[in-house]
């Protein structure tokens, strides 16, 4: 079984808040979502292994930050840092009208950070496009930094050369 050193994941979180106004804001209208226990359990249910020395790039929205940190820990990673994606468009919100998401970085074992010439600001500015679609430039940056090691994208929407993928919107390289 292949052992992945790069894991890139954007879990489809289930949100438990009431609809606001006449508009149904349920994410379930966009795609199937998963509960925290279901996301945590993927480490046991997917036929894959994470390498002893690996890095997890895990997308988090502000309301799901604590849950993302739980997932990171259960999956065997220690939180190290994060990047903030400025979507350049103000979204909806319950406390604030968020226009950012966080890309959490977690490590297990010993994994080298990007070389100095591949490091950039902790704020990535790119206009949001389709609902929940993340910037392609982030994946391209990971590929540039780590071209020759096993990578998997969990909850993928597209197949990317050099990556294995798993998700309900793409032909998966691994199956449940």
**pLDDT tens across 72-105, in order?**
999 999 999 999 999 998 887 778 888 899 999 9
Q: Is residue 173 part of a domain?
A: no
Mean pLDDT, rounded, of the chain:
88
Question: Would the CA dihedral through 116, 153, 124, 109 be positive or negative?
Answer: negative
pLDDT, residue 58, reads 98
Q: Is residue 95 part of a domain?
A: yes
On the question of pLDDT at 39 being above 80, the answer is yes
Structural domain span for residue 34: 3-15+29-49+62-166
pTM assigned to the model? 0.89
Q: Please answer whether residues 121 and 103 qualify as being in contact, where contact means their C-beta atoms are separated by less than 8 angstroms.
A: no
Please give the average per-residue pLDDT across 25-54, as a whole number: 83
Number of structural domains (the chain) is 1
pLDDT, residue 20, reads 54
Q: Is residue 21 part of a domain?
A: no
Residue showing tokens 């079984």: 1
Phi, psi of 104 (to 5 degrees): -80, 145
pLDDT, residue 25, reads 52
Q: Is residue 43 part of a domain?
A: yes
pLDDT, residue 15, reads 79
Q: Is residue 176 part of a domain?
A: no
Q: Is residue 113 part of a domain?
A: yes
**Dist. CA 103–CA 156, nearest whole Å:** 15
């Amino acid at each position: 079984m292949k052992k992945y050193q790069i894991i890139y994941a954007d879990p489809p979180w289930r949100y438990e808040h009431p609809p606001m106004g006449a508009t149904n804001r349920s994410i379930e209208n966009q795609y199937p979502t998963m509960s925290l226990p279901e996301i945590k359990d993927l480490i046991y249910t997917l036929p894959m292994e994470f390498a002893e020395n690996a890095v997890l790039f895990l997308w988090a929205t502000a309301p799901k930050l604590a849950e993302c940190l739980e997932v990171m820990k259960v999956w065997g990673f220690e939180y190290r840092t994060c990047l903030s994606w400025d979507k350049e468009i103000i979204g909806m919100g319950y406390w604030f009208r968020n226009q950012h998401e966080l890309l959490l970085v977690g490590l297990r074992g010993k994994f080298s950070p990007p070389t100095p010439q591949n490091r950039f600001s902790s704020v990535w500015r790119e206009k949001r496009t389709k609902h929940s679609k993340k910037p392609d430039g982030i994946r391209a940056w990971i590929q540039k930094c780590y071209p020759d090691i096993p990578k998997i994208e969990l909850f993928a929407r597209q197949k990317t050369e050099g990556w294995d993928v798993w998700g309900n919107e793409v032909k998966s390289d691994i199956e449940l």
